[in-house]
């Protein structure tokens, strides 16, 4: 492929982009520097972004996720021209429409109609072109006569309706969205995501930031994970969401984001598993993974195929040594008939005393979308303190109402330490569960409707 064709393949190219802010202890220091009265540096450097690199191909939908302060919004503002980078280069191929924080680009004194023309002009459209698009914009916004009122009188819901209607109906080649949908009502959000689907079918490029991991998983072809102003990784939605969850629950964010290895810092040989799953202390030495001892016939897990690529991590204050999926007949089986009762069990050995441990499970789709799950905190079943050397089994009994198909089971043990959620042992996608059904309805689960048809005269 020629360099020219390769260049045309990309809608956005970000190369070594950094954004540094000067932080002054006193306003007088800022003034002294501006007037040249001081030869020494009077500010501290704060990098909101540092050497960020990524590409977005034409027609891709790419999500950016990360904790608050990761630099997500900053990189979007640089891409859309709201901010200038301190260092680095950008290449944008196509007309961009941006919906950043609420109110960006809108003049509060202008009416809704006047702001439509203002924004359209800023995007490079003529008045005649905006005239043609105006009916569709107003129909999408659906705010009635308020379009003739100053936008400073709008509620946040009306504001975002109009802003999004302008951004998405102005027919851009690249759409950039930053969490703006979170203030819209559920019906407006559904309308917006329907528009997202329409954009994807048309081959438009979408770049958006969201904390809604379900939307990230559903709509994105690829996801970029950022942390503390740096790009940590990029890959499939499922891979990046799992890494993001590590950052959220890791005591050392940087290590948790990139460490796929189990047991770092854990004293595996100090753990006494003698009373767990029938194993002897000698047999159980070194068990820090749910995969360890999987062939032990005395264990529940020996009856299941454990994902060899199970994504597991944690500080190992508690270690999951066994798990079970039990059908309505009391058999260990990962095939559950829809509409029947089944039980999930997780067995945890505590290497260190943990206060108020929380036992969890989650079902995901194969693509990584969380479908359902619960934990002992939600269910108000508590263990005040699990002491070092003790073993606990959490049992969750429920009715299987998921649609027929394949799901991935994740289980964990966590707790709160100093107000922060800490993962002791999380096992993502550890096993598959097959739901057997002779009737599937729409969506993820069956509401078990009682249905009838009557002929009336």
Q: pLDDT (tens digit, 9 = 90+) per residue, 24-59?
A: 878 877 777 777 777 777 778 889 999 999 999 999
Same domain, 187 and 275: no
218 in the same domain as 165: yes
Task: Check residue 7 and give its pLDDT.
Answer: 55
> How high is the pLDDT of residue 6?
55
Q: What is the CATH number of the domain that holds 156?
A: 3.40.50.300
Query: Is the domain of 215 the same as that of 291?
Result: no
Residue with structure tokens 């330490």?
417
Q: What is the CATH number of the domain that holds 358?
A: 2.70.50.60
Asked whether residue 186 is domain-assigned, the answer is yes
Quote the pLDDT of residue 241.
85
Is 396 a domain residue?
Answer: yes
Q: Residue 104: what pLDDT?
A: 62
> Measured between alpha carbons, how far is 307 from 304 in angstroms, rounded to an integer?
9
210 lies in the same domain as 267: no
What are the tens digits of pLDDT across the range 191-224?
777 887 888 888 899 998 988 787 788 789 999 9
pLDDT cut 70: percent of the chain above it:
87
Give me the mean pLDDT over the 78-93 stretch: 93
Can you tell me the distance from the alpha carbon of 278 to that of 322, in angstroms, rounded to the nearest whole number? 11
Does a structural domain hold residue 451? Answer: no
Q: Which domain holds residue 124?
A: 3-247
90 with 229, same domain: the answer is: yes
The residue from 202, 222, 247 where one domain ends is 247
pLDDT digits (tens, 9 = 90+) for 265-317: 222 222 222 333 333 333 334 468 999 999 999 999 999 999 988 989 999 99
Q: Is the pLDDT of residue 3 over 60?
A: no
On whether residue 103 sits in a domain, the answer given is yes
Rounded Cα distance between 348 and 447, Å, is 33
Structure confidence at residue 443 (pLDDT) = 87
| Number of domains into which the chain is organized | 2
Residue 254 belongs to some domain of the structure: no
Task: Give dist(CA 221, CA 235) in Å, integer.
Answer: 9
pLDDT at 233 over 90: yes
Whether residue 215 is found in the same domain as residue 312: no
Q: How many CB atoms neighbour CB 367 within 10 A?
A: 11
Q: Is residue 423 part of a domain?
A: yes
- 272 and 335 fall within a common domain: yes
Is position 89 within any domain?
Answer: yes
Q: What pLDDT was estimated at residue 200?
A: 84
The verdict on residue 313 lying in a domain is yes
Neighbour order of strands in the sheet with 318-326: 318-326, 341-350, 391-399
Mean per-residue pLDDT over the chain, rounded: 83
């Amino acid at each position: 492929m020629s360099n020219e064709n390769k260049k045309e393949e990309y809608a956005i190219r970000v190369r070594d982009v950094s954004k540094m802010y000067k932080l002054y202890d006193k306003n007088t220091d800022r003034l002294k520097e501006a007037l040249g009265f001081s030869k020494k540096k009077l500010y501290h450097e704060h990098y909101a972004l540092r050497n960020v690199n990524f590409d977005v191909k034409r027609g891709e939908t790419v999500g950016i996720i990360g904790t608050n302060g990761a630099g997500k919004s900053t990189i979007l503002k640089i891409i859309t021209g709201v901010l200038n980078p301190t260092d680095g280069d950008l290449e944008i191929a196509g007309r961009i429409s941006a919906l950043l924080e609420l109110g960006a680009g809108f003049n509060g004194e202008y009416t809704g109609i006047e702001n439509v023309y203002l924004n359209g002009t800023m995007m490079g459209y003529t008045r005649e072109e905006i005239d043609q698009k105006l009916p569709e914009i107003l129909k999408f916004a659906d705010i009635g006569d308020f379009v003739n009122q100053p936008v400073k009188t709008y509620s946040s819901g009306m504001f975002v309706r109009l802003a999004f209607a302008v951004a998405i109906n102005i027919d851009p080649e690249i759409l950039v969205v930053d969490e703006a949908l979170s203030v819209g009502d559920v019906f407006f959000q559904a309308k917006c995501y329907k528009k997202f689907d329409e954009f994807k079918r048309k081959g438009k490029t979408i770049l958006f930031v969201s904390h809604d991991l379900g939307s990230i998983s559903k709509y994105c072809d690829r996801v970029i994970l950022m942390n503390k102003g740096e790009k940590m990784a990029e890959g499939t939605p499922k891979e990046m969401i799992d890494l993001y969850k590590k950052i959220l629950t890791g005591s050392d964010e940087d290590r948790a984001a990139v460490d796929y290895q189990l047991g770092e810092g854990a004293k595996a040989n100090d753990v006494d598993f003698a009373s767990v799953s029938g194993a002897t202390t000698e047999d159980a030495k070194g068990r820090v993974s749910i995969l360890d001892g999987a062939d032990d016939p005395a264990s529940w897990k020996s009856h299941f195929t454990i994902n060899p690529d199970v994504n597991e991590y944690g500080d190992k204050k508690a270690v999951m040594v066994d798990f079970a999926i039990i059908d309505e007949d009391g058999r260990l089986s990962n095939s559950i008939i829809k509409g029947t009762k089944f039980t999930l069990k997780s067995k945890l050995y505590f290497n260190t005393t943990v206060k108020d441990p929380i036992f969890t499970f989650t079902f995901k789709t194969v693509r990584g979308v969380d479908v359902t799950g619960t934990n002992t905190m939600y269910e108000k079943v508590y263990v005040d303190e699990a002491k070092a050397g003790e073993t606990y089994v959490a049992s969750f009994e429920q009715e299987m109402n998921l649609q027929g198909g394949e799901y991935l089971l994740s289980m964990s043990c966590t707790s709160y330490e100093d107000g922060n959620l800490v993962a002791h042992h999380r096992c993502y996608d550890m096993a598959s569960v097959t739901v057997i059904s002779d009737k599937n309805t729409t969506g993820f689960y069956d509401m078990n409707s009682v249905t009838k048809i009557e002929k009336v005269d």
